[in-house]
Amino acid sequence: MEKTISDVKPKVFGVLAQFSSPKDVYHAAEKVRDKGYKKWDVHSPFPIHGIDGAMGLGDSRMGWIALFSAMAGCFGGFGLQYWINMFAQPVVIGGKPLNPYPAFVPVSFEPGILFTAFGCLLGMLALNGLPRLYHALFKSANFKKFSDDGFFISIEARDPRFNLNETRKLLEDIGGRNIEVVED
């Protein structure tokens, strides 16, 4: 028998629960963190001060991405000028030596800044898994409130600690409302 699309059993993406205030979602996040979940997220219309600590997020890797982009830009910019002046087209300008390195500083600095900006933007997108056109949570009609007045916690099924009934119970216990199982 040929398989049709309606025969494919939907996979569970995770469990979504709503909270009524930033304070509630903050304290609920602390409890989810303490249970040892890793693949989960908090959704809020605005940044909540200290939520990263309550979620147990570590130091962001953005700093390292920025540092290495800056170094790539800086050394790349210097190397480009050095190669041009020393090998590709050696021209004496203003009686300066062929390698007038003080003159290379501004042009080394600028790609350093430019590459850092690119590194930060692209690194941020990569770390956030962006851009993407679809997310399973969009299936929940209630979830639309996350950009208005809703505060949510979603725990994903790919988390090793995920168990549909237990996770659901946990979200109930910590004060979640409108709990729903979201399918992928």
Indicate whether 105 belongs to the interface with other proteins (CB under 8 A). Answer: yes
Indicate whether 164 belongs to the interface with other proteins (CB under 8 A). Answer: no
* Among the residue ranges 30-38, 79-87, 100-108, 159-167, the one whose residues contact other proteins (CB under 8 A): 100-108
Tell me the angle at which helices 22-34 and 164-173 cross, rounded to the nearest 10 degrees: 140
Backbone angles phi, psi at 161, to 5 degrees: -85, 0
Out of 2, 7, 34, 59, point to the residue binding other proteins (CB under 8 A).
59
**CA separation for the pair 102, 137 (Å, rounded):** 54
> 14: closest CA among 124, 129, 138, 128?
138
Indicate whether 97 belongs to the interface with other proteins (CB under 8 A). Answer: no
Q: Which residues contact 27 (CB under 8 A, 6 or more apart)?
A: 54, 174
Indicate whether 131 belongs to the interface with other proteins (CB under 8 A). Answer: no
In the complex, minimum distance from the CB of residue 92 to other proteins, in angstroms, rounded to a whole number: 14
Indicate whether 148 belongs to the interface with other proteins (CB under 8 A). Answer: no
Tell me the angle at which helices 101-127 and 62-83 cross, rounded to the nearest 10 degrees: 150
Contact map string, positions 64 to 83, toward other proteins, x by CB under 8 A: ---x----------------
Indicate whether 103 belongs to the interface with other proteins (CB under 8 A). Answer: yes
Tally the C-alpha atoms within 13 A of residue 170's C-alpha that lie toward its C-beta: 22
Enumerate binding residues for other proteins (CB under 8 A): 49-50, 52-53, 57-59, 67, 94-95, 102-103, 105-106
